[in-house]
Structure formats: structure tokens, C-alpha cells
A and B are shown apart, each in its own frame.
Chain A
Amino acid sequence: DVKVTQSSRYLVKRTGEKVFLECVQDMDHENMFWYRQDPGLGLRLIYFSYDVKMKEKGDIPEGYSVSREKKERFSLILESASTNQTSMYLCASSPTDREDGYTFGSGTRLTVV
């Protein structure tokens, strides 16, 4: 039973392309997050959202934007992809009850060439 779905497992894009990474959750969670994961750096928070149409910057928002038009969907946008955005991107969602932690998607491995 898949609960957080990321639209692609693997993506290859060219430098300068606009890239959309989609994430959908079916648990009616209020909160959604985008992380990138790089070897030795762990998970770094890009953007998060507490509600529809709300977004907040995480630790590394530069070069990214997000969209949350519906509660179940949180999109990460790379306005002009660059090679240093090659990474594993992880989406997560959580309810407002803190002890539930996050539920993660399977990740999207993006390669920018």
C-alpha cells in the first residue's frame, strides 16, 4: 500500500531545462516536505509546506521552487537545472501529530547532464 508516491524513480535532464518533480500522498497529511540526499551530507531540507498554498524555505532553497495547489500534491520545480542539482530527491509527508514522524516516498534520482 503505497502512501507517498513520487512520479519518477529516475530522471535524466539537460542543463537549463525546467524540471518538475511530483509527489502525491493519500493520507490526508497537512505537512509535506522536499529533501535532497547526497553522500556524506545526509538529508537537506529544500522546502516544506504546512497547508495548501503555503510554503516555507528550508535550508537549501536556492535554485528551487515549490507548488502546493492541492492538499495531496506537492511539486518541486527546478527552474533551470544545473549539474550540481544531480541528486536523490525525497518527498515526505506528516500529520500535525508529531509522534507519527514522516512518511517518505521512494525517491527520485535526478541526473542533470
Chain B
Amino acid sequence: GEDVEQSLFLSVREGDSSVINCTYTDSSSTYLYWYKQEPGAGLQLLTYIFSNMDMKQDQRLTVLLNKKDKHLSLRIADTQTGDSAIYFCAEILYSSASKIIFGSGTRLSIRP
């Protein structure tokens, strides 16, 4: 079946690293995504990783993919108050040309 799972909440101290985890079920996924949703806004694409990659780094963001375990993580280094948002993990289904399946989102809150 199609399912993307992630924990609902994460709280970190400002300046620490945040790690948001996600598991997915479709082994044929070609791309996996991380989206960010700030309060009152739509979703914004943060980064994506192709399924033949293990890691992708973009400034403070590091994406790790463990294809064997179907596990995806997003690490945010030096977490700032502006990183407070809901983060959605998503996979694209090979069987449906452009259909992306989203997780339920992880709400990241920052403690001073």
C-alpha cells in the first residue's frame, strides 16, 4: 500500500540540530521530497533526493536516504526560530505519473 509516516511533533533548542524522520512504503519511488509549511501558508519545496542517492546536502539541510529500510531523514543544522514550521515528507509513485504521497507532517517547534 501507499503510506508515508512521520512523527507529529519535534521540539529542539535554538542552535541545536533538528532531525526529522520519515518512513515510506513504495520501493519503486524515484524521488523523495521534503516540504516546509509556515503558518497560514501553502507548502514550499525544500529539497528532494533521487532514489539512487544516499545523501544530499544544501547549506544547513542534509537529507539522508536509506533505501533498504525505506527511511528518509532531514537534518537542519543550527536550528533557528525561522525554521518553526510543519515539515512534510513525500514520495512519488512510479505507478502514477505524477502522484505524490505526503506524510502527515512533523511540527517543529524551537525552544529558546
Contacts and interface: CB of A to CB of B under 8 A. Distances in A.
B30 A98 contact: yes
A105 B30 contact: no
Which bucket holds chain A's interface residue count? 20 to 34
Contacts of B8: 40
Contacts of A40: 8, 104
Contacts of A25: none
Contacts of B103: 42
A42 B105 contact: yes
Interface of B (DSSP majority class): strand
Interface in B77-108: 88, 90, 92, 97-100, 102-105
A111 interface: no
B42 interface: yes
8 contacts: A31-B98, A40-B8, A42-B102, A42-B103, A94-B100, A98-B97, A99-B48, A102-B43
Contacts of A96: 97-98
A96 B98 CA distance: 7
Interface in B1-57: 8, 30-31, 33, 35, 40-45, 48, 50
A51 to B, nearest CB: 11
A103 B31 contact: no
